[in-house]
Amino acid sequence: MHDKLTIERLGQNALDVRELQREALLTDEWLALQQAFRWPRITRMLLYRHRIVLELRNQLPQQNIRVSWTRCHFGGTRPWLHCPFCQRRVARLFRGFGGYFCRACCGNPIYESQRRSKKARAYLEAYRLRQRLGGSKPVRDPIRPRPRGMKQKTYDRICARIVSKPTSGPSSTATTKIRGPSNKPSPPNRYGLPSSASARKHRRPYAANFRIT
Ligand SMILES: [Zn+2]
């Protein structure tokens, strides 16, 4: 397997706004996270509804990341990060040289799928289609019945697309690894915070709240 930089590899250390939102870290008051969480290169992180400030290991200037919010289609709002270099609005910022930047500013690493062989890509696509029907990992398995709530038309379309894909998996020499949906719960305290359910209640002992005047 070649050691090319892919989005997936970079993504492991990415700053994902959805994750920050899920952990209730973007609130009306400034939160400070020190060390001990899942971004080893960040020594300190200040978060607020409209701004994130990163202090990076062995690096003097802080990174100042703008956070903006848009209305969702079905109500509510969702946050976005703005690349500190080009201000592009993105969901994730990746760890590049000198800080966190958008995909383009990190040199546009390719997606894992882009480097797969054609056959492996087709296999992966078939696998993903089957996932939409509720699972069944091996592409050789019979197609699952229509899941509750899925329109017959959608189901027929997905089935037709599955049938058009190859039924054999990638050869053993292929570098593709197909992983099923992970049911493993994410380890607690990755952020030095309790799980989001109890985060609000118990935040103070874990992350010092403070205000900037
Ligand atoms: Zn950028």
In angstroms, what is the span from residue 93 Cα to ligand 1's centroid? 8
pLDDT at 58: 85
In angstroms, what is the span from residue 29 Cα to ligand 1's centroid? 27
Is 180 within the bounds of a domain? no
Angle at 206 between CA 203 and CA 208, to 5 degrees: 85
Residues 24, 127, single domain; the answer is no
Residues 39, 136, single domain; the answer is no
Residues 17, 62, single domain; the answer is yes
pLDDT at 37: 66
Is 31 within the bounds of a domain? yes
In angstroms, what is the span from residue 19 Cα to ligand 1's centroid? 20
CA distances from 37 to 15, 45, 168, 191 (A): 12, 10, 42, 4
Residues 90, 135, single domain; the answer is no
Q: What are phi and psi of 158, to 5 degrees?
A: -65, -45
In angstroms, what is the span from residue 87 Cα to ligand 1's centroid? 6
d(C-alpha 191, C-alpha 1), whole Å: 32
In angstroms, what is the span from residue 108 Cα to ligand 1's centroid? 10
Mean pLDDT by 10 residues, the chain (213 residues): 61 88 94 79 93 90 95 92 95 89 82 66 76 68 83 89 66 43 48 47 40 39
> Domain range holding 140?
118-163
Report yes or no on whether pTM surpasses 0.75: no
pLDDT at 96: 82
Is 37 within the bounds of a domain? yes
d(C-alpha 176, C-alpha 124), whole Å: 9
pLDDT at 54: 94
Decide: helix, strand or coil at residue 81.
Answer: strand
Number of domains present in the structure of the chain: 2
Residues 122, 149, single domain; the answer is yes
Is 185 within the bounds of a domain? no
